[in-house]
Amino acid sequence: MKKVALCVAMLFLMAVFSAPASAKVVMNLGWQTADDSAYGELVTIFSGLVDEYTGGEVVVKRRCCGQIGGEEDGFKSLQIGIVDGFIITMNNVSPHYPLMDVFVLPYIFNSLEHASQVLEGPIGDRFRDQLYAKTGVYLLSYNAVEPRDMYNTKRPIRSMDDMKGLKLRVPKNKIMIRTFQAFGAEPVPLAWSEMSTALQTGTVEGGDNGTFVIRSQKFFDLADNLTVLDHFTSFSPLFCSKRFLGKLTDAQREAVIKAGRDAGRIHRANMLKKIEECRTYLEANGMKITRPDRTPFIEAARKLQDEILSKRSAEFREIVDQIRASSGSKTDA
């Protein structure tokens, strides 16, 4: 009996002392680019803050390189609750939540600083609340804003005329497809996972991505020409599922949300300082950089904006009006 009692006591003590470890909540956080990409840097910042703010009660598990799926399906996985967290480029959110297309419009922002001001202000807060109410997916952080730079294997782009006939890979987003058409190119809608192979085989002759993605994916080994137009201001929000938030205590939930906001601000500040440095790196690795006069591109983009606005909801037009007003410009449509 004494031996049995001793065993029971030992098991009890083991359960007590192992309880904190087993009580930890794990957040499986996925993204599709490389672990050492800008997304990976964000996750490093975010996971460190989560650990600090929750006292180690919530642990972020890194799932880079498409381990838990791709961006095209990531948002739906968050809605269903089979994924805890995912970083998804904004244009891949639009098929699931069309209002995101507001931010996809070409030249909707005057500058990266203007984009940051909008996203971190009342417009961004309202958008976050609306998205969660309608989809059950919570936007933890808008993250860094950066331009999508063009690259191609055929020729330097010095004017809009040089865009004619170029087969450029475009995400499966209608606004991005129509933007490249307005610029004179031949857009080829293609999943991100197929891009490298398509570029190597000539199925496409180029595309556009965030400056840091071009570097981390080593597209400088595949394409010689880089074009700086600042036509799209891109960001890739960090999202989490309603199911994941439901696993957390009130204090943990508040800490994770705070970690998301703070990580986004830190990451954004870091990246803003490095964009030109990244372009210099691409040039040093063989890419020829051109910076065409943006005037004809902006004119084409504005016509496209107004055309799109005439066919979108009042809610869509209202957000665009707010963004334009914040930059001193007003809707003509």
Q: What is the pLDDT of residues 49-89, one digit of tens each?
A: 999 999 999 999 999 999 999 998 999 999 999 999 999 99
| pLDDT top residue among 18 and 41 | 41
Looking at residue 313, what is its pLDDT?
A: 96
For range 279-291, the mean pLDDT:
98
Query: Is 187 inside any structural domain?
Result: yes
The pLDDT-based confidence of 1 (bands split at 50, 70, 90) is very low
pLDDT in tens, 225-235: 999 999 999 99
User: Domain range holding 307?
Assistant: 26-325
| Whether the Cβ atoms of residue 31 and residue 63 lie closer than 8 Å to each other | yes
The pLDDT-based confidence of 14 (bands split at 50, 70, 90) is very low
| Whether the Cβ atoms of residue 289 and residue 282 lie closer than 8 Å to each other | yes
pLDDT at 136 over 90: yes
Query: Is 3 inside any structural domain?
Result: no
What's the pTM value of the predicted model, to 2 decimals?
Answer: 0.87
The pLDDT-based confidence of 9 (bands split at 50, 70, 90) is very low
Query: Is 155 inside any structural domain?
Result: yes
Query: Is 13 inside any structural domain?
Result: no
Helices (H), the chain: 2-22, 38-54, 71-80, 101-104, 112-119, 122-135, 174-182, 195-201, 211-216, 242-246, 250-284, 295-309, 314-326
Query: What average pLDDT does the structure give for the chain?
Result: 91
| Whether the Cβ atoms of residue 160 and residue 292 lie closer than 8 Å to each other | yes
The pLDDT-based confidence of 202 (bands split at 50, 70, 90) is very high
Query: Is 74 inside any structural domain?
Result: yes
Query: Is 1 inside any structural domain?
Result: no
The pLDDT-based confidence of 327 (bands split at 50, 70, 90) is confident
Number of domains in the chain: 1
Sign of CA dihedral 299, 305, 311, 314: negative
For range 266-284, the mean pLDDT:
95
For range 323-333, the mean pLDDT:
67
For range 103-123, the mean pLDDT:
96
Query: Is 316 inside any structural domain?
Result: yes
pLDDT at 17 over 50: no
pLDDT at 48 over 70: yes
Tokens of 65: 């390189």
**CA-closest candidate to residue 329, choices 313, 310, 305, 294:** 305
Between the alpha carbon of residue 89 and those of residues 72, 146, 198, 233, the distances in Å are 9, 11, 20, 11
The pLDDT-based confidence of 328 (bands split at 50, 70, 90) is low
The CATH number linked to 227 is: 3.40.190.170
pLDDT in tens, 158-201: 999 999 999 999 999 999 999 999 999 999 999 888 999 999 99
pLDDT at 332 over 70: no
194, HSE (Cβ side, Cα atoms, 13 Å): 15
Query: Is 332 inside any structural domain?
Result: no
Looking at residue 329, what is its pLDDT?
A: 52
CA distance 99 to 22: 40
